[in-house]
Structure 1
Amino acid sequence: MLKYLTGTAIIAGLLAVGAAGAMAQQKYTFALVPKNMNNPFFDQARDGCKKAEAESNGAFECMYIGPGEHGGGEEQVQIVQDLVAKKVDGIAVSPSNAAAMAVALQAAKEAGIPVLTWDSDMLPENKDLRVAYVGTKNYDIGVNLAKIVQTLKPKGGTICIQSGGAAAANHNERMQGIRDTLSGKQSAASPGDALKGENGWTEADGCPLYTDDDFPRSVQQLEDTLGKLADLDAFVPTGGFPQFIPDAYRATVSKYKDRLDSGKLALVVADTLPVQMELMKEGLSKGQVGQRPFEMGYKTMMFLKDMKDGKGNPTDPTYTGLDVCTPETADTCIGK
């Protein structure tokens, strides 16, 4: 009898060790894929991702991986395809080129890998390839950028919109929000209808501008436009592109600061990273409309873990909110 009990205890112990080993092997790998990694906006998303990893107590690894530089799209698609081949446990991606990303996400779906989008979403016809979108309601960024511009220039004028990429769904939605708000008309789809005099607003020749997330190019575009168009009433980037090289932005805008101070030029920029808020406090922008990238990185990781643990899918979409800032509200406008 004792021999039997001893044998049973050994077997139970081996089963327990095996179960513990299986649990140890159950550590997930979740990938957070930005449009590019040379970007302070996406750095904040990475920090949120790493905070979630730390709070998981070893349940998952946050793999932060993406193109090193600009957000053209092809390299990012290849990275996601490689992640599918490596059989990671979940992917959260901010698509640079929503149409091109569909190929990679179809492969992820067929492989049973859950996908979330963040910051930028898929095109409507491809939203079935991801579980949910987590991030900003991008149309509303454009709406709020335009509202600040309207306050500064109530009679309208000539505007130049600077965007990220022509194929970036999030920036197209923001552009639509700007155009719809200034025109007072709802356009059928993003990026909206170009302004041709509605409510006094017209888009400058050669605009919108596209940076493809190339920050030096964005500063050059800003300098060229302000230098060429002395009567420009508003310049509105749909992302923080030129401000992400603060010294170059400062040097450029300082040459035209008298136009900002006099109210002749409304320079209003998306995003509210600390360096951008400092530039606004220096009088080098008249407003900032910001997102919450840290929260995007954090929430996507936690949602992926919940899905893997059988706790259900997040709400689609899950919006992370906006911060609307002007020089007068700079000290209080950022949400906690």
Structure 2
Amino acid sequence: MKGFLLGTAIAFGAISVAMSGAQAKDIFALVPKNMNNPFFDQARDGCKKAEAESKGAFECMYIGPGEHGGGEEQVQILQDLIAKKVNGIAVSPSNAAAVAVALQAAKQAGIPVLTWDSDLLPDSKALRAAYIGTHNYEIGTNLAKLAMQIKPKGGTVCIQSGGAAAANHNERMQGIRDTLSGKKSAASPGDRLTGQNGWTEIQGCPLYTNDDFPVSVQQFTDTMAKNPNLDAFIPTGGFPQFIPDANRAAVAPYKDKIASKALALVVADTLPVQIDQMKEGLSLGQVGQRPFEMGYKTMLALEAMKSGKPAPADPTYTGLDVCTPATVATCIGK
């Protein structure tokens, strides 16, 4: 709790400094699920590129929860941004339901809101103008297709997710389950695999990391120790690969299984640190998003909306990259 309060105080202090004095330019906030995350760092870089191109018309305020994130801390940051009357907010909701409650005040204050990376739940989407980011269901679909190419007869599988309340990860899990089972489920996170099309989720899975990277590595280690003959392990985000040394140590004992396709290890995201690990034989496939483009496009959209132009198309998808060891030289879109 002490760490939470300190992190929140620092975040609020940053907001106050940015908003103090005469506001000479618009302030658009880019709010990730957590900071110190290489995925969200790329979104920050895209946001800052848009800021530079605006030649002083607006500031990209990149601000969010601490390293491991948390819906409660993100909600408090949003509430403070709204109270400070920023000119626009782009948020990747950690807890979609909780963020929706906070955004009611933004709507009442007339502050335009976009979501990126992760969206609100269907009954709350009127609180934001549009979603800019990945088609999250399609991430799951493509992860599952890679697993099926490696294991055409099916097998046992463990899905590792970011958080039970994260809408984007639930949509990815639904895409995985639907594609492996061959049957569309009614809603995310989809129907548990109990033998459909040859695929069965093992006991104890899905796993939830809550965006804690060391926890994600430990979960893989523990799962493999208990299930040495597991056929497929599928993280819906790059969590373990974001701490490469720890992940290398955890996955190295299974490199032979991966190479022989006894273990289908396929992972979401295609950041350079992850592609390096795939090249080393530590995964058989990566399905990547384009976070730089998310940060860039949300800022341009908020600037356009502030000047009276229409909101972007809802949703605005930023595309996917599907990579395997065989396609690694050409798989990342330009």
Matched, 1:112 2:115: no
Identify the match of residue 260 of structure 1 among 258, 272, 277.
Answer: 258
User: Within 5 A, what are the aligned runs for 1:179-218?
Assistant: 179-218=177-216
Equivalent in 275, 295, 310 of residue 277 of structure 1: 275
1:228 Cα offset (Å): 1.3
Which residue in the other structure is 1:98 paired with?
Answer: 96
- Name the counterpart of 1:9: none
Q: Is the contact made by 1:160 and 1:236 (CA closer than 8 Å) also made in structure 2? A: yes
1:309 corresponds to which residue?
307
Q: 2:138 aligns with which of 132, 140, 146?
A: 140
| Cross-structure match for 2:322 | 324
For residue 285 of structure 1, give the secondary structure of its aligned residue in structure 2.
coil
2:284 to 283, 286, 302: 286
Query: Secondary structure of 2:309's partner?
Result: coil
Gaps of 5+ in 2: 1-21
Regions of 4+ moved over 6 Å: none
SS at match of 1:37: coil
Task: Please give the secondary structure, in 1, of the residue aligned with 2:27.
Answer: strand
Counterpart residue number, 1:224: 222
Structure 2 Cα separation of the partners of residues 134 and 87 of structure 1: 22
Partner Cα separation in structure 1 for residue 288 and residue 259 of structure 2: 22
One-letter amino acid of the counterpart of residue 40, structure 2: F
Superimposed CA distance per residue, residues 123-171 of structure 1 (whole angstroms, 9 cap, x where no aligned partner): 0000000000000000000000000000000000000000000000000
Q: Does 1:154 align with 2:152?
A: yes
Aligned length: 313
Contact 2:50/2:299 (CA < 8 Å) preserved in 1? yes
TM-score normalised to the size of structure 1? 0.92
Report the alpha carbon displacement of residue 103 of structure 1 after superposing the two structures with TM. Answer: 1.2
CA distance in 2: counterparts of 1:78 and 1:111, whole angstroms:
16
Measure the CA separation in 1 of the matches of 2:70 and 2:250.
26
Letter paired with 1:271 = D
Amino acid at match of 1:220: Q
Aligned equivalent of 1:245: 243
Give the whole-Å Cα distance in 2 for the aligned partners of 1:69 and 1:165.
15
Which secondary structure state, in structure 2, belongs to the residue aligned with residue 330 of structure 1?
coil
Q: CA deviation at 1:71?
A: 2.9
Q: Aligned partners of 2:178 and 2:218: how far apart in 1?
A: 27
Going from structure 1 to structure 2, the CA distance change for 1:25 and 1:213 (only over 3 Å counts) comes to closer
Aligned to 1:131: 129
Q: Identify the residue that residue 4 of structure 2 maps to in structure 1.
A: none
* One-letter amino acid of the counterpart of residue 266, structure 2: V
d(CA) in 2 for partners of 1:57, 1:311: 19
Shift of 1:118: 0.1
Q: Distance in 1 between matches of 2:189 and 2:331?
A: 28
Equivalent residue number for residue 8 of structure 1: none
Structure with higher Rg: it is: 1
Paired with 1:47 and 1:263, the residues of 2 have a C-alpha distance of 36
Q: 2:34·2:70 contact (CA, 8 Å) conserved in 1?
A: no
The one-character-per-residue Cα deviations of 1:286-332 (angstroms, maximum 9, x if unpaired) are 00000000000000000000000011111000000000000000010
Please, what TM-score do these two structures have when normalized by structure 2?
A: 0.93
RMSD between aligned residues: 0.8
Task: State yes or no: 1:47 paired with 2:50.
Answer: no
Q: What is the CA–CA distance in structure 2 between the aligned matches of 1:42 and 1:328, rounded to whole Å?
A: 27
- Point out the more displaced range, 111-120 or 63-72: 63-72
Task: Provide the C-alpha distance between the structure 2 equivalents of 1:334 and 1:74, rounded to a whole number of angstroms.
Answer: 35
* Code of the aligned partner of 2:98: A
Contact 2:35 2:69 in 1 (8 A): no
**Pairwise CA distance, 1:25:** 5.3
CA contact (8 A) 1:72 1:165 kept: no
What is the aligned partner in structure 1 of residue 169 from structure 2?
171
- Structure 1 residues not aligned, in runs of 5+: 1-23
The separation in 2 between residues aligned to 1:276 and 1:167, in whole angstroms, is 25
Q: In 1, distance between residues paired with 2:250 and 2:187?
A: 34
- Name the aligned partner's letter for residue 158 of structure 2: C
Equivalent in the alignment of 1:83: 81
What residue is the counterpart of 1:18 in the other structure?
none
Query: What amino acid does structure 2 have at the position aligned with 1:312?
Result: P
1-side partners of 2:101 and 2:153: how far apart? 46
3-state SS of 2:94 partner? coil
1:328 aligns to what SS in structure 2? coil
Preserved contact between residue 28 and residue 86 of structure 2 (Cα < 8 Å): yes
Distance (whole Å) between structure 2 residues aligned to residue 60 and residue 72 of structure 1: 28
CA contact (8 A) 2:42 2:292 kept: yes
Partner of 1:14: none
Identity of aligned residues (%): 80
Matches within 5 A, 1:14-29: 27-29=25-27
